[in-house]
């Protein structure tokens, strides 16, 4: 395309949200430009890293159960069409306590939406997965059709497919738009100017930096660590196929079995300190004592397993965990898309459809995704 091309949509940010939005718009026939400051799935983005969980259970938050259910079909369709093998159907095991409201709410929503699931007693968990040590009163919900997604690889593959379908991608760091009403072009720090009818800012944690007045106190980037433990040589008991992806609602830990020899992933979902996504040093260690102690108790045979890899990433939290999908209040042709809040990855394809529909067909965003619903004080309700 020539530098004078006017695109239907320019998408800024090639994380999972921007990549799927650009890809879906292009599939619908729109002329799309996608830019990213550092590249699709780059190590600073929230969408980087090896793997992400795709599960359907969301307590009483039916909207996310439905989105996740739909997104899983779209991820699988993408795999079939491209041969990418992004999705690993490991099953997802939710460890919880039988007397908690969240377990009852999750079971009710899964049944209502028609998501296949089973409930395991403590004895059944330990029989089926003897690698896990349970405490009195623990039960589990098992989602056999859920699992794990290859994160960075999938984002890069979606951008590749987007380009194969005729979309234009380039490295560029967009500047904050100025003025109001609507913009005809957007400048980049390297001096380019891009013309489009609509602009989608899908910039993850950077939304707070790009729009400091509007989002500086509404997007809360937090430092998160991930550890991969080395399983004993020749031991397949902790690998995908023999062990599920899991979440522990009481201790706010989660993990993914060994996939592609990366190790047994364990991480804390508790929000870490506030971070600047450009400048944060990504050297893990802060939550290692907590994670190690958990591994020792929950997976006793791995008590001496070495850490073979670690990562530091950031969540881009909204006040309560709901996504942000709304027009910029000062610009009718600018959309703000983000607030993945530590659970957004799995929804990428469903979100791409939703945003594409809003742009191409019009309509109002759901109140839960609106800017008006985003508070300046964090109180997490979506997990």
Ligand X SMILES: Cc1cc2nc3c(=O)[nH]c(=O)nc-3n(C[C@H](O)[C@H](O)[C@H](O)COP(=O)(O)OP(=O)(O)OC[C@H]3O[C@@H](n4cnc5c(N)ncnc54)[C@H](O)[C@@H]3O)c2cc1C
The yes or no reply on residue 13 touching ligand X (CB under 6 A) is yes
The yes or no reply on residue 57 touching ligand X (CB under 6 A) is no
- 122 versus 195: smaller Cβ distance to ligand X: 195
Shortest distance in whole angstroms from residue 127 CB to ligand X: 27
The yes or no reply on residue 45 touching ligand X (CB under 6 A) is yes
Select the residue interacting with ligand X from 37, 358, 359, 382 (CB under 6 A).
37
279 Cβ contact partners less than 8 Å away, ≥ 6 residues apart? none
Residue of 159, 157, 22 lying closest to 8 (CA atoms): 22
8-state DSSP, 185: E
- 171 versus 360: smaller Cβ distance to ligand X: 171
The residues with which 169 forms a beta bridge, in sequence order, are 34
- 5 versus 170: smaller Cβ distance to ligand X: 170
The yes or no reply on residue 206 touching ligand X (CB under 6 A) is yes
- 31 versus 346: smaller Cβ distance to ligand X: 346
Query: Binding pattern to ligand X, positions 171-190, x when CB under 6 A?
Result: --xx----------------
Q: What are the structure tokens assigned to 268, written together? A: 């804390």
The yes or no reply on residue 345 touching ligand X (CB under 6 A) is yes
Q: Which of these ranges, 31-39, 120-128, 131-139, 353-361, lies near ligand X under the rule CB under 6 A?
A: 31-39
Q: Which of these ranges, 86-94, 137-145, 236-244, 308-316, lies near ligand X under the rule CB under 6 A?
A: 308-316
Select the residue interacting with ligand X from 10, 11, 14, 266 (CB under 6 A).
14
Shortest distance in whole angstroms from residue 99 CB to ligand X: 26
- 76 versus 126: smaller Cβ distance to ligand X: 76
Select the residue interacting with ligand X from 96, 257, 263, 340 (CB under 6 A).
340
Any idea how long the chain is?
Answer: 383
d(CA 215, CA 204): 11
Select the residue interacting with ligand X from 31, 52, 271, 298 (CB under 6 A).
52
Question: Please, where are the H alpha helices in 211-311?
Answer: 212-215, 288-298
The yes or no reply on residue 202 touching ligand X (CB under 6 A) is yes
Residue of 8, 10, 17, 14 lying closest to 324 (CA atoms): 17
- Residue 203: count of CB within 10 angstroms of its CB: 29
Question: Please, where are the H alpha helices in the chain?
Answer: 16-27, 62-82, 101-113, 122-128, 151-164, 207-210, 212-215, 288-298, 348-361
Q: Which of these ranges, 14-22, 109-117, 158-166, 301-309, lies near ligand X under the rule CB under 6 A?
A: 14-22
The yes or no reply on residue 94 touching ligand X (CB under 6 A) is no
Select the residue interacting with ligand X from 226, 231, 259, 334 (CB under 6 A).
226
- 102 versus 310: smaller Cβ distance to ligand X: 310
The yes or no reply on residue 10 touching ligand X (CB under 6 A) is no
The yes or no reply on residue 96 touching ligand X (CB under 6 A) is no
Neighbour-count burial for 8-25, b at 16+ CB within 10 Å, e otherwise: bbbbbbbbbbbbbbbbbb
Select the residue interacting with ligand X from 24, 26, 47, 156 (CB under 6 A).
47
Which element (helix H / strand E) includes 89? none
The yes or no reply on residue 221 touching ligand X (CB under 6 A) is no
Order of all β-strands in the sheet with 147-150 = 51-54, 147-150, 87-88
d(CA 69, CA 201): 25
Shortest distance in whole angstroms from residue 356 CB to ligand X: 15
The burial class, CB within 10 Å (0-12 / 13-18 / 19+), for 26 is buried
Query: How far does Cα 273 stand from its chain's mean position?
Result: 19
Shortest distance in whole angstroms from residue 97 CB to ligand X: 22
Residue of 3, 35, 335, 43 lying closest to 188 (CA atoms): 35
Angle at 162 between CA 160 and CA 167, to 5 degrees: 120
Query: Under a CB-based contact definition with an 8 Å cutoff, are residues 144 and 91 in contact?
Result: yes
The yes or no reply on residue 12 touching ligand X (CB under 6 A) is yes
By CB under 6 A, name the binding residues for ligand X.
12-18, 35-38, 42, 45-47, 52-53, 173-174, 202-206, 210, 224, 226, 313-315, 338, 340, 342-346
């Amino acid at each position: 395309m020539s530098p004078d091309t006017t695109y239907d949509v320019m998408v800024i940010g090639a994380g999972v949200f921007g990549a799927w939005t650009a890809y879906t718009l292009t599939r619908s026939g729109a002329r799309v430009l996608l830019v990213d400051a550092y590249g699709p799935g780059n190590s600073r983005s929230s969408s980087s890293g090896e793997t992400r969980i795709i599960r359907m259970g969301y307590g009483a938050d039916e909207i996310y159960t439905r989105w996740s259910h739909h997104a899983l079909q779209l991820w699988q369709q993408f795999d079939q069409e491209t041969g990418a093998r992004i999705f690993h159907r490991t099953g997802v095991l939710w460890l919880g306590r039988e007397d908690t409201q969240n377990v009852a709410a999750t079971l009710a929503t899964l049944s209502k939406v028609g998501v296949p699931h089973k409930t395991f007693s403590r004895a059944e968990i330990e029989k089926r997965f003897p690698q896990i040590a349970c405490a009195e009163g623990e039960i589990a919900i098992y989602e056999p059709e859920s699992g794990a997604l290859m994160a960075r690889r999938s984002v890069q593959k979606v951008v590749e497919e987007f380009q194969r379908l005729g979309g234009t991608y380039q490295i560029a760091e967009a500047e904050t738009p100025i003025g109001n009403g609507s913009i005809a072009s957007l400048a980049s720090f390297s001096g380019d100017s891009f013309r489009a009818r609509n602009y989608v800012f899908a910039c993850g944690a950077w939304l707070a930096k790009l729009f400091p007045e509007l989002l500086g106190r509404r997007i809360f980037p937090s430092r998160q660590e991930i550890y991969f433990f080395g399983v004993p040589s020749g031991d397949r008991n902790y690998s995908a196929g023999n062990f599920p992806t899991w979440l522990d609602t009481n201790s706010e830990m989660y993990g993914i079995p060994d996939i592609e020899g990366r190790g047994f992933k364990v991480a804390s979902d508790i929000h870490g300190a506030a971070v600047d996504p450009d400048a944060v040093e990504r050297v893990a260690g802060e939550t290692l004592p907590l994670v190690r102690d958990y591994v020792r108790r929950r997976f006793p045979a791995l008590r001496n397993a070495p850490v073979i890899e670690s990562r530091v990433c950031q969540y881009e939290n909204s006040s309560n965990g709901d996504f942000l999908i709304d027009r910029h209040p000062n610009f009718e042709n600018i959309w703000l898309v983000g607030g993945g809040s530590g659970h957004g990855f799995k929804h990428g394809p469903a979100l791409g459809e939703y945003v594409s529909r809003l742009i191409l067909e019009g309509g109002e965003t759901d109140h839960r995704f609106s800017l008006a619903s985003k508070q300046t004080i964090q109180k997490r309700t979506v997990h």
